[in-house]
A and B are shown apart, each in its own frame.
Chain A
Amino acid sequence: MSEAATPVNPASNEPTLAAAPAGDRPLLQLENVVKHFPIRRGIFFKRQIGRVQAVEGVSLEVRRGETLGLVGETGCGKSTLARCITRLHPLTSGRVIFDGVDITRLSAGQLRPYRRRMQMIFQDPFGSLNPRRRVGSIIGDPLAIHGIADGGERKRQVQELMEVVGLNPEHYNRFPSEFSGGQRQRIGVARALALRPSLIVCDEPVSALDVSVQAQIINLLEDLQGEFGLTYVFIAHDLAVVEHVSDRVAVMYLGKIVEMADTAELFGSPRHPYTAALLSASMVADPEKARSSHRVVLYGDVPSPINPPSGCRFHTRCPKAQPLCSVEEPPLRVQAGDPGGHLTACHFPVAPGEQLVGAEPAISAAVTEFVATSPGAGEEETV
């Protein structure tokens, strides 16, 4: 048994990972993962002039066979976190523990066996497939790299994979440009599946697809999960999609997890004001829900991750912010009255049934003023 099961440093205020026997030990554990990107200037002697705090102390665990949804807006660090999990980015600090083994500092060679068990599906079905290579060799790449199959055997396995993801195996020799977006995403799925991984990190796998095609890919991913016992980390910004596919959901804001709970719990009674605002802002394809729901409009933009706000990073846009929020960072913990798995990082969590009010006066007041003060359109001459 490795050091994986040791609890996280209690001083970090992060949830403690319980020691567990190998059987039901989480497949993936992140401990205090931090990823900063240095900003450098200069040609020969590059000076570091700042850093982007993309991921700032994320701890979570993913259980075998579940789907953990990761939601957040642009720049919240969810894609960076995905790349930290799959070790495409080296971590600044913290640990990634895969099936009980700390893979954070493994060399490329040592990492290889873990790469086999941990794959990724990318967002862009156009960019993630090499345009100059045939589909057969793209899907067969993992088999070639890991020396699993060669020649005819590789071709057989690739065609089997194509079959499994619903592609025509006869299209083995085609180029990615000859497929539609949905089919390309199937190619990406087949490639991720080739090594029979246990964990697949899906980075916005359906965001770039047409509506009617999205459902095809979502269903495919669901079927494969059942068939191959896969565990997913599913990253998306579309809350409806995340709600549909996930067992548990973690919400990220500016590099930190602000709330994490079972899907129904999180969507049913969000406690963090950001989660509540995000949920209310998402537009459901159901006119009654979409129009009746009280929309919490957040003002301003997400602050820069180069200079994140002090204390709680959300306090600059939070409708419930108090002086304390800009000083002290709230720990991610179980709030009073919540079930054990529901963690929220907030000093003043949203009470069930509470209605949030936007942080600034409604825009319509400004519009009314504009219309009243500026000259009417009719008076102006048209050139």
Chain B
Amino acid sequence: MSLLSVRDLTVSFPTSDGVVRAVRGLSFDVEAGQTLGIVGETGSGKSVSALSLLGLNPGADVSGSALFEGKELLALGPEQLRAVRGAEIAMIFQDPLSSLHPYYRVGWQICEAIRTHRRTSRAEAMRQAVELLRLVSIPQPERRVQSFPHELSGGMRQRAMIAMALALRPKLLIADEPTTALDATVQAQLMELLGGMQRELGMAMIVITHDLGLVATVADSVLVMYAGRGAERADYRTIFHSPHHPYTRGLLASIPGAAGSGGRLVPIVGQPPSLIRIPSGCAFHPRCPFAMDVCVRDQPPFVPVSGGEGHLSACWLPPDVVGVDAAADAARQRFVEGRRGPAIARLRAAISGARARGGVAHV
């Protein structure tokens, strides 16, 4: 059984302009000791879904199911959730200053994190805090426990936050954009540290990021999100070498140095959609070069495709067309021919209508 099994998670926020449907039926599993990378752009719902699991989205309507070691997280009361947070599921954020209280010393904060969940003497907790800081390779940890967060450099703060998150040896660590604000060398340090901790503690990780490079480096399996839904899910090799979904395919073509990119980058057209007015059918269809009539009409199911074991994709293209090479694209194209009817014609008309003035095409 999976450590965490999320089914049909839906999160929406009522706002004055309408309901923001941040997550729309997301399902995924995290196995013990494994790393799941969740990739997506701004507004894909990747952070919101993780926060919802821990009840950290006040004001949101959350439905679905999230079983963590057989416990239904979404049914837990605030007190029960608190017992889970930190002790069993810990979370680290992009901005360490958001997790560290500015007016308390780092050591004290780690002590409190430990003592909230475990019956430990203050002295013992402080000893552990020093050990933890040493563990995350903060120099002179005996002195650093006495520091305030602002006295630490960005990388050190991030490490202090990791120390705090790991203090209780959680079974699952959710890292939300853990390295986005950091430099490459510091990022490498942290990922090595997290990787080491994970191996030793047998901890599972969810790494939420927009950075495909990070995912390529650390993830065992990858979930690509688009507009609040899973677009594609597979082991890391399949995602990078045999993707099925045109969005994944497009991401790879638009990143310099990515597995499937050629000389010139090929951007995905347009912008991610508004989560208040989500396009009909497949939410990606207005940006998809392989959009067919069915894509405008019906939302594709998240079903197995042929990239490998456990490869799922939500796309109307045939399940056996995977890959990033010309042959795969040609196969996609062949399938699409003849399946573009009035709906696609309307789409094109709308585009050319908006652009009647003409313009520079960057193709």
Q: Closest residue of chain A to B156, judged by CB?
A: A301
Q: Is A107 an interface residue (CB 8 A)?
A: no
Q: Is A299 an interface residue (CB 8 A)?
A: yes
Q: A277-B185, A300-B139, A382-B117 are in contact. Are A219 and B216 (CB under 8 A)?
A: no
A 121-180 contacts with B by CB, 8 A: 163-164, 166, 168-170, 180
Q: Is B258 an interface residue (CB 8 A)?
A: yes
Q: Which bucket holds chain A's interface residue count? A: 35 or more
Contact A283 B185 (CB under 8 A): no
A287-314 vs B, CB cutoff 8 Å, 1 = contact: the mask equals 1111100010111111000000000000
A 210-228 contacts with B by CB, 8 A: 210-216, 218-220, 222-223
Contact B266 A215 (CB under 8 A): yes
Q: A214-B254, A240-B213, A368-B200 are in contact. Are A283 and B267 (CB under 8 A)?
A: no
Q: Which bucket holds chain B's interface residue count? A: 35 or more
B249-260 vs A, CB cutoff 8 Å, 1 = contact: the mask equals 011111111110
Contact A213 B271 (CB under 8 A): yes
B193-220 vs A, CB cutoff 8 Å, 1 = contact: the mask equals 1001101110000000011111111000
Q: Is B229 an interface residue (CB 8 A)?
A: no
Q: Which residues of B contact A244 (CB under 8 A)?
A: 256-257, 265
24 chain-A/chain-B pairs, Cβ below 8 angstroms? A73-B184, A163-B357, A170-B357, A211-B210, A212-B41, A212-B251, A212-B267, A215-B267, A216-B362, A223-B362, A278-B185, A281-B187, A282-B184, A283-B211, A284-B257, A286-B258, A289-B216, A298-B189, A360-B137, A363-B193, A363-B196, A374-B128, A380-B119, A381-B119
Q: Which residues of B contact A302 (CB under 8 A)?
A: 183
Q: Which residues of B contact A280 (CB under 8 A)?
A: 188
Q: A180-B271, A383-B117 are in contact. Are A370 and B265 (CB under 8 A)?
A: no
Contact B257 A166 (CB under 8 A): no
Q: Is A237 an interface residue (CB 8 A)?
A: yes
Contact A283 B154 (CB under 8 A): no
A229-244 vs B, CB cutoff 8 Å, 1 = contact: the mask equals 0000000010111011
Question: 15 extra interchain contacts, Cβ-Cβ under 8 A, other than A211-B211, A214-B267, A301-B186?
Answer: A168-B354, A210-B272, A215-B265, A220-B362, A239-B184, A278-B184, A285-B216, A285-B255, A285-B259, A290-B213, A297-B188, A362-B196, A370-B135, A380-B118, A383-B116
Q: Is B149 an interface residue (CB 8 A)?
A: no
Q: Closest residue of chain B to A206, judged by CB?
A: B256
Q: Is A377 an interface residue (CB 8 A)?
A: yes
Q: Is B146 an interface residue (CB 8 A)?
A: no
B171-191 vs A, CB cutoff 8 Å, 1 = contact: the mask equals 000000000000111111101
Q: Which residues of A contact B78 (CB under 8 A)?
A: none
